[in-house]
Amino acid sequence: MKILKDKVAKLSFVALLLTMTAAMFYTPTASAHGEKSQAAFMRMRTIHWFDLNWSKDEVPVNDTMTLTGKFYVFQGWPETVDKPEVSFLNVGIPGPVFIRAGSWIGGQLVPRSVSLELGETYEFKVLLKARRPGDWHVHAMMNVKGGGPIIGPGKWVTITGSMSDFTNPITTLTGETIDLETYNLSNTYFWHGLWYAIGLLWLAYWARKPMFVPRSIAVEAGKADTLISGTDKKVALGFGVGVIAIVAMSMASTNDKFPITTPLQAGLLRGMKTIEMPVATVKVKIEDATYRVPGRAMQMTMTITNNGDSPVRLGEFNTAGVRFLDPEVSVDESGYPDDLLAEEGLTVSDNSPLAPGQSKTVQVTASDAAWEVYRLADLIYDPDSRFAGLLFFYDAAGNRQMITIDAPLIPSFI
């Protein structure tokens, strides 16, 4: 019976090892992201993305596209999320389907982390080079230290061609031209294979001995010291010394082959150039705001005051990347993602032009299935049930003003 249990334990161990090994080589295909699972307050009260533009809907392998736009760092940043003092401009894509060839904020190259200021607006650009064919969801994204990735709106982009044609040539500081896609690939395979083989030998040595049940019995009987023999100690010492020797020799060989190296650059860029937004002449006060669950609509009562020189009308409400438009005032011509665009989703009880010096209280409704599809309605279950967003007002000449709003949100279930 003891021998049978020991054989069963060994077979179980081998099966587990094979399963783990197979899992290492299984990579399921991913095409989109879980931005819908990100808390609604995170998307509404941190980074507001607007004026986004994906330069192409279809890109051949080795060709490039740009993702451009602006983002506003919300003044009322939530207390539960670390401030964006260390942030990194990125893109949200399902793996290395694009190569990020460069990124800029305010026209300055930002290959490292930056410090962002609350209440400021920035312009950005990301240059992407197509690598893997397929249909991919491409998002703007800001990684914030302590706050995680803050994902912006995403759009489907198609990459055509063959991945085997992809190249990524660069010229090093010493004048050598290399292709990063294939550079030293055989050496990478060798070292992965070597360490994997050493790991298997280590497991095989210990797997040949009595496994779980006999060892458990010996430990319970107070004979744990007898489980490790003198030979075992010598073998363990040999493995340890061998690993250290391999690391030391390979390091010496690498330093001899590549005498000129520079460390990874990990500094923090400060003083990023912001956009000088026009001075807002429109003032908005949110009197109350409710979210009507059955109708998938948010209703706001707001008092609008025009302190400018020309009449204005409310044309857009933007929150968490979802844009609610009044088609009589604002029409999207940028090719914005359809699932994030409610072209007739904004209604105002009285959206006649607001004359200079005039004030009026209106009912504004933002309604669309996107409230549920993108789980923004989950905000009503948040301990700090507040919403935030951007309002865009337009005058007769098409000039635009951006107003930020932030207020409590009360749910209505009838």
Residue 86, CA atoms < 13 Å, CB-side half-sphere: 8
Q: Is residue 169 within 8 Å of 177, Cβ to Cβ?
A: yes
Direct distance between the N- and C-terminal alpha carbons of the chain, in angstroms, rounded to an integer: 68
- Report how far residue 28's alpha carbon sits from residue 30's, in angstroms, rounded to the nearest whole number: 6
Q: Shortest CA distance to 275 belongs to which of 69, 31, 102?
A: 69
pLDDT tens for residues 358-392? 999 999 999 999 999 998 888 878 777 889 999 99
The pLDDT of residue 201 is: 95
DSSP state of 278: P
CATH 2.60.120.570 for domain 38-176: yes
Across 21-35, 242-256, 309-323, least confident range: 21-35
- Report how far residue 409's alpha carbon sits from residue 383's, in angstroms, rounded to the nearest whole number: 11
Amino acid at 2: K
The pLDDT of residue 317 is: 97
**338: number of Cβ within 10 Å:** 11
Helices and strands, number each (H, E), in the chain = 6, 23
Q: Quick check: 414 pLDDT over 80? A: no
Higher pLDDT, residue 113 or 24:
113
pLDDT tens for residues 143-166? 999 988 999 999 999 999 999 999
Higher pLDDT, residue 258 or 60:
60
- Give buried/exposed letters for 195-222 (b at 16+ CB in 10 A, else e): eeeeeeeeeeeeeeebbeebbeeeeeee
The pLDDT of residue 45 is: 92
The pLDDT of residue 112 is: 92
- The arrangement of strands across the sheet holding 64-73 comes to 47-54, 64-73, 121-130, 98-105, 108-109
Q: Is residue 369 within 8 Å of 377, Cβ to Cβ?
A: no
pLDDT averaged over every residue in the chain: 89
The full set of domain ranges for the chain reads 38-176, 182-257, 282-412
Q: Is residue 5 within 8 Å of 215, Cβ to Cβ?
A: no
The pLDDT of residue 263 is: 86
Q: Classify the phi-psi angles of 381: left when phi > 0, otherwise alpha if psi is within -120 to 50, otherwise beta.
A: alpha
- Give buried/exposed letters for 279-315 (b at 16+ CB in 10 A, else e): eebbebebeebbbbeeebbbbbebebebebeeebbbb
**225: number of Cβ within 10 Å:** 8
Q: Quick check: 355 pLDDT over 90? A: yes
What is the 3-state secondary structure of 26-81? CCCCCCCCCHHHCCHHHHHCCEEEEEEEECCCEEECCCEEEEEEEEEECCCCCCCC
- Going from the C-alpha of 120 to that of each of 108, 146, 404, the distances in angstroms are 16, 20, 11
Amino acid at 213: V
Tell which CATH classification among 2.60.40.1580, 3.40.50.1820, 3.30.365.10, 1.10.1740.10 matches the domain 282-412: 2.60.40.1580
Q: Is residue 348 within 8 Å of 392, Cβ to Cβ?
A: no
- Report how far residue 270's alpha carbon sits from residue 402's, in angstroms, rounded to the nearest whole number: 25
Q: What is the mean pLDDT of residues 273-287?
A: 92
Band of residue 21 on the pLDDT scale cut at 50, 70, 90: low
Q: Quick check: 267 pLDDT over 90? A: no
CATH number of 182-257: 1.10.287.710
pLDDT tens for residues 46-58? 999 999 999 999 9
Q: Is residue 84 within 8 Å of 272, Cβ to Cβ?
A: no
**133: number of Cβ within 10 Å:** 18
